[in-house]
Structure 1
Amino acid sequence: MIQIQGNAALAVDSDRVQADRIGRGDVDAFERVMRDNNSRLFRVVRAMVPDDSEAEDIVQETYVRAYQHIMDFRGEASLSSWLVRIAINETHDRRRRSRPTVELDEISNVRPMDILRGDSTCGAGQASPEAAVARAQIRRCLERAIGNLPAGMRDVFALRALEEYSVQEVAELLGIRPEAVKTRYHRAKALLQSAIDEEIHQSLKEAFPFGGRTCDRVVAATLARLGLADDR
């Protein structure tokens, strides 16, 4: 179980109140939860799937499942972590239905730079003189490189690097040993390698942006699917 202390415990108490309100049919409370968690869920899921559209679908499905099972929320971890767990499970379910995953042993001979050279625009020499444009190019290169990671590494990297979960939290969310989390995270960083290593920290803050219109679209679509659009 993820350990909760101090301010985190107070946050979980607040989460229980939110969950209780949602369970009583408070649509505004549900919308607040969605808007508070949209960016995090999208970033985690988008790092695990090939495109924005599928990521949005999974985020919507996560909220639908959470709403339908809100009374199952026990407050053992934060509401945010509970939603992330649902999103991960939905992503893994879709992955199993669509195609087999790549096992870690299958990429033992892959060279890191082969992954990073998947697009010729990734090279530092192609960057614009404008810092903002250069960072955008690096971010896109980084997103492609993350997308090319084997599934198990990609999941760990998304949670550890993008959302800064602890090793123990990632292990619990993915149902693997902490040692496996450390190993996969180390290998993932090695595969992402030198061309973007120096830019990773800044680029991750901007990776997979979740703009206002997209946020509104996910909220509206989720409320419509649940028949709650007219209950505002």
Structure 2
Amino acid sequence: MNVPTARCAPTDPTATSDRASLVRRARGRDEQAIRELIRQMNPRLFRVARGMAGSDAEAEEIVQETYLLAFTRLDGFRGEAQFATWITRIAINCALMQRRRAQPSKEYDTVKEEEADGVLPFPVQHTELPEAALGRAQIRALLEDAVSQLPPDLRLPFVMREAEGLSVGIIARQLDLSSVTVRTRLFRARRKLRAVLEQRVAGGFESIYPFDGARCSNMADRVIAGLALNHVGR
């Protein structure tokens, strides 16, 4: 089936009710439904993956692996939690596995497997004037470079808090950490960043690690191709 690829865009919260229908169709390998779910989830999953990965390329690998795992295991999605929560947890676990493969002797935090009620919200982005967009892009580049210098155990909680706007309690539950540990890591992350950023980029963290345009469309193409190969191999 040839389905036009769509540009990624921030998900409209009112579209959540339609996601259950998309998931049902995706279980039947409806390509259009799979592409739409990828379009909706790409920005969030890439941001979370990039919070743990050392580069954009590694983050894209994590996101692709997440989709392949999720869409081949949809029968295991019971619907007790939001689809966004379920697939985000898969993304976090894929990132953890990648880190373990890279450094097998190092211990990392793990994520609880049971379903939870919380949903990772995605901030709405608004249309900007060209001049404002240019300035924002420059700030984003500076932010991404600075945030990327943080070690992964500090970077992920920081991105979840500052970019995704999650509460300390939700971050603690998602990462199976105590609230005290999360607060400590956030403090350490901010302290490392403050000297470079405090005078120039206050309030700009919601713009980091975007995932849209051709990158979004290419992700959908790769996932569809991977799912086709998995199906043939059965």
Q: How high is the TM-score relative to the length of structure 2?
A: 0.73
Output the amino acid matched with 2:31: V
1-side partners of 2:188 and 2:91: how far apart? Answer: 24
Matched with 1:60 is 64
Q: Is the 8 A contact 1:48 1:147 kept in 2?
A: no
Is 2:61 aligned against 1:90? Answer: no
Larger radius of gyration: 1
Output the amino acid matched with 1:56: E
Pair 1:16–1:179, CA change in 2 (3 A): farther
Output the amino acid matched with 2:57: S
Matched with 1:142 is 143
Match of 1:48 among 35, 52, 56: 52
1:20 Cα deviation after fit: 2.3
Q: Is the 8 A contact 1:15 1:78 kept in 2?
A: no
Matched with 1:201 is 203
Which residues of structure 1 form unaligned runs of 5+? Answer: 1-7, 104-129
| Runs of 4+ in structure 1 over 6 Å off | none
Output the amino acid matched with 1:91: A
Output the amino acid matched with 1:32: E
1-side partners of 2:149 and 2:179: how far apart? Answer: 23
Match of 2:43 among 15, 39, 42: 39
1-side partners of 2:100 and 2:65: how far apart? Answer: 16
CA deviations over 1:157-190 (Å, ceiling 9, x no partner): 1211111122222122211122221221122112
What SS class does the counterpart of residue 209 from structure 2 fall into?
coil
Is 2:23 aligned against 1:19? Answer: yes
Q: Is the 8 A contact 2:162 2:206 kept in 1?
A: no
What SS class does the counterpart of residue 77 from structure 1 fall into?
coil
Q: Is the 8 A contact 1:19 1:71 kept in 2?
A: no
Matched with 1:160 is 161
**What are the equivalent positions in structure 2 for 1:110-129 lying under 5 Å apart?**
none
2-side partners of 1:74 and 1:179: how far apart? Answer: 32
Pair 1:68–1:200, CA change in 2 (3 A): farther
2-side partners of 1:101 and 1:206: how far apart? Answer: 31
Matched with 2:217 is 216
1-side partners of 2:67 and 2:142: how far apart? Answer: 30
1:218 Cα deviation after fit: 0.4
What SS class does the counterpart of residue 228 from structure 2 fall into?
coil
Identity %, equivalent residues: 37
Q: Is the 8 A contact 2:49 2:95 kept in 1?
A: yes
Q: Is the 8 A contact 1:34 1:219 kept in 2?
A: yes
Q: How high is the TM-score relative to the length of structure 1?
A: 0.73
Q: Is the 8 A contact 1:23 1:70 kept in 2?
A: yes
Q: Is the 8 A contact 1:46 1:55 kept in 2?
A: yes
Which residues of structure 2 form unaligned runs of 5+? Answer: 1-12, 109-130, 230-234
Pairwise CA RMSD: 2.6
Q: Which moved more, 1:18-27 or 1:82-91?
A: 18-27
* Bigger helix share: 1
